[in-house]
Amino acid sequence: RKEVEQDPGPFNVPEGATVAFNCTYSNSASQSFFWYRQDCRKEPKLLMSVYSSGNEDGRFTAQLNRASQYISLLIRDSKLSDSATYLCVVNQDTGRRALTFGSGTRLQVQP
C-alpha cells in the first residue's frame, strides 16, 4: 500500500463546478498535512495547510479525518486557472524529516 494515495484523475469539470479530491495516508502517527499545487512542468507550490478543525481559503476548503486517515480538498466555483495537479502531502513523523507526497490528482477545468 502506498504511504499517500490519490486518485490520479483526470477530473474534467466545467467552469463554475464544485469538485472534491480525497487522499488517504497509511501512517496514523502523521502530524501535519498539506495540499500543494503543481502546474505542468513547474515546481510544486503550497496551496494550503490542513488543520484538524478544517479550514477554508476563499474557494478552497480542506478537511482532515484522522479516524479514517484521509484528507480532502474542495474547490468551489472552479476557474480555468485552477487546472493543475493537486498533490496531497503528509508529514509522517517517522523520523524522516521530509514530506511524503502523493502522486497527485489532475484537474482540468473546461470553458
Partner 1 sequence: GAGVSQSPSNKVTEKGKDVELRCDPISGHTALYWYRQSLGQGLEFLIYFQGNSAPDKSGLPSDRFSAERTGGSVSTLTIQRTQQEDSAVYLCASSFSWGVYQETQYFGPGTRLLVL
Q: Which residues would be at the binding site for partner 1 (CB under 8 A)?
A: 4, 31-32, 34, 42-46, 49, 87, 91, 96-104
Minimal CA–CA distance to 105: which of 82, 88, 81, 80? 88
Minimal CA–CA distance to 63: which of 45, 51, 47, 79? 51
C-beta of 18 vs 94, nearer to partner 1: 94
Dist. CA 66–CA 80, nearest whole Å: 32
C-beta of 4 vs 71, nearer to partner 1: 4
C-beta of 33 vs 61, nearer to partner 1: 33
Closest CB 70 distance from partner 1, rounded Å: 17
Tell me the residue ranges of DSSP E strands in the chain: 4-6, 11-14, 19-25, 32-38, 45-50, 55-57, 60-65, 70-75, 84-91, 100-101, 105-110
C-beta of 19 vs 86, nearer to partner 1: 86
Closest CB 96 distance from partner 1, rounded Å: 6
Closest CB 84 distance from partner 1, rounded Å: 14
